[in-house]
Amino acid sequence: MNLLFTLIFLICTFLLLCASPDNFLSAMLDGASRAAALSVSLIATYSVWMGLMRVWEKSGVSRGVSRLLKPLARRILKTDDEESLSSACMNLSVNLLGISGAATPYGVKTAQLLDRTENAEFSSAMFFVLNATSLQILPTSLVAVRVAMGSSAPTDIILPTLFTSVFSTALGVLLVLLFVKPKKTILSSKNSKNFFAEKEKMTGAGTR
């Protein structure tokens, strides 16, 4: 990917030098200043939201949201692993607020945990779709970009973003259900222990 962007930059630089060499330096400086202004604006926005997320974690709000989403996540991801579900619910709750940068660490952790579950293929595929389509109630990052770029109505995208993300998430979930079949029997850690304990008792009784 870095090679591709480098190649695009070199081609564009060559074309600009050929077409308008006098404007090359001014265009570079203008682009750099715009990029710096946008970066500062995004840093400020992310700082506010990351601070708010930290307060939510300390006050227990994030754990409450995670508990509310956990029954739905258990049905969708087809797993009973509590650690995976907790991490996935944190990822989904942050994505609902449109803070994709804050959701990334939870997403990476959830993907690693789901790979170790019994129904890993289906759970990982479903979580990837949910994370990629990113259902958003409030697209915070996009609003911040529009504010930084001087939009007169930066919040106009909230409703269209909600509709499109709902549609893409629903379509993605449907496609996963059609093409990736989950295992029919999934034992939670507690149930699996009881199952193997009963199996050992029955085996021991048979040998006696």
pLDDT, tens digit, 9 for 90 and up, residues 136-182: 887 777 777 787 777 888 888 888 888 998 999 999 999 999 998 88
Is 106 in contact with 90 (CB distance < 8 Å)? Answer: yes
Question: Tokens 């269209």 identify what position?
Answer: 160
Residue 196 is predicted with a pLDDT of 46
User: Which are the contacts of 140, defined by CB distance < 8 A and separation ≥ 6?
Assistant: 45, 49, 97, 98, 99
At 206, the amino acid letter reads G
Q: What is the mean pLDDT of the chain?
A: 79
Residue 207 is predicted with a pLDDT of 46
pLDDT beyond 80 at 53: no
Is 98 in contact with 140 (CB distance < 8 Å)? Answer: yes
pLDDT, tens digit, 9 for 90 and up, residues 181-191: 887 644 444 44
SS (H, E, C) 105-134: HHHHHHHHHHCCCCCHHHHHHHHHHHHHHC
Task: For the chain, give the percent of residues with pLDDT over 90.
Answer: 15
61 C-beta neighbours (distance < 10 Å), count: 14
Is 104 in contact with 92 (CB distance < 8 Å)? Answer: no
User: Which are the contacts of 170, defined by CB distance < 8 A and separation ≥ 6?
Assistant: none
Mean pLDDT in residue range 46-58: 72
- Give the range with max mean pLDDT: 43-47, 186-190, 198-202: 43-47
As a dihedral over the C-alpha atoms of residue 29, residue 32, residue 33, residue 36, rounded to 10 degrees, the angle is -160
At 171, the amino acid letter reads L
Least confident of 37-41, 62-66, 71-75, 124-128: 62-66
pLDDT, tens digit, 9 for 90 and up, residues 59-90: 776 677 777 888 888 999 988 888 888 888 88
Mean pLDDT in residue range 114-131: 90
pLDDT beyond 80 at 10: yes
State pTM to two decimals: 0.64
Phi-psi map region of 80: left, alpha, beta (phi>0 left; psi -120 to 50 alpha): alpha
Which one has a higher pLDDT value, 57 or 29?
29
Task: For the chain, give the percent of residues with pLDDT over 70.
Answer: 80
Q: For the purposes of burial, counting CB atoms within 10 Å of the CB of 177, is it exposed (0-12), middle (13-18) or buried (19 or more)? A: middle
- CA atoms lying within 13 Å on the CB side of residue 37: 12
Mean pLDDT in residue range 103-114: 87
Q: What secondary structure does DSSP assign to 73-96, as a single string?
A: HHHHHT---HHHHHHHHHHHHHHH
